[in-house]
Amino acid sequence: METNNIHHLRRQVANLRQSLFDQGYVDEQFIELEELQDDATPNFVEEVVTLFCKDSARLIHIIDQTLENHPVDFAKLDNYMYQFKGSSSSIGAKKVKTKCTQFMEYCRAENVEGCKRTFQQLKEEYTTLRRKLEIYFQYARQVGPTETASCTQSKSVN
Partner 1 sequence: MNIGSGSLVTVPSSTGSWKSGDIVSDQFPVGLRVLVVDDDPTCLRILEKMLRNCHYEVTKCNRAEIALSFLRENKNGFDIVISDVHMPDMDGFKLLEHIGLEMDLPVIMMSADDSKDVVMKGVTHGAYDYLIKPVRIEALKNIWQHVVRKRKYEWKDNNFDQSGSVEEGDRQQKPSEDVDYSSSANEGNWKNSKKRKEEEEEVEDRDDTSNLKKPRVVWSVELHQQFVQAVHQLGIDKAVPKKILELMNVPGLTRENVASHLQKYRLYLRRLSGVSQHQNGLNNSFMGRPDTTFCTISSLNGLDLQALAAAGQIPAQNLATLQAAALGKSATKSAISMPLDQRNFFSFENSKLRFPEGQQQLNNSNKQIDLLHGIPTTMESKQLANLHHPSQSFMGMNMQVNSTSQHNNSVLMRLSQSQPRTQLLNGANNGSQVSRLPLSMQQSLSPVLTQSGIVDNARGSVYNPVSQASSMVDFSVNQSKELQSYNFSLGSNSSGLSSLTNRGMLQEEVNSDIKGSRGFPSNYDIFNELQPKSQNWGLQNDGSTFDTSLHPCMQGTQDVSSQLLLQQGISSTHNSGQNRNAPIEKPMYSNGDEIGHSNTMCGSQLNSGGGNMLAVKAERFPDADYQNTNIREQFGRDDLMSAFLRQQASVGPVETEFGFDGYTLDNLPV
Answer yes or no: are the C-beta atoms of 140 and 10 closer than 8 Å.
no
Longest CA–CA span in the chain (Å) reads 64
- Residue 129 binds partner 1 (CB under 8 A): no
Contact in structure between 55 and 86 (CB atoms under 8 Å): no
Query: Strand pairing partners for 19?
Result: none
Count other Cβ atoms within 10 Å, centred on residue 138: 12
Applying the rule CB under 8 A, the residues between 48 and 77 that interact with partner 1 are 48, 50-58, 60-62, 64-65, 74-76
As measured in angstroms, the least distance from the Cβ of 44 to partner 1 is 6
**Residue 113 binds to partner 1 (criterion: CB under 8 A):** no
Question: CB-hemisphere CA count at 13 Å for 143?
Answer: 23
Using an 8 Å Cβ cutoff, are 12 and 139 in contact? yes
> Counting contacts by CB under 8 A, is residue 117 touching partner 1?
no
Count Cβ atoms within 10 A of the Cβ of residue 143 and give its class: 0-12 exposed, 13-18 middle, 19 or more buried: buried
Q: How far is the CB of 133 from partner 1 (least distance, A)?
A: 8
Asked if 36 touches partner 1 (CB under 8 A), the answer is: yes
Q: Is position 2 an interface residue for partner 1 (rule: CB under 8 A)?
A: no
Q: How many residues bind partner 1 (CB under 8 A)?
A: 66
Q: Footprint of partner 1 on this chain (CB under 8 A)?
A: 12, 15-16, 19, 23, 29, 32-33, 35-36, 38, 40-44, 46-48, 50-58, 60-62, 64-65, 74-76, 78-79, 82-83, 85-87, 89-92, 107-108, 120, 123-124, 127-128, 130-132, 134-135, 137-139, 141-144
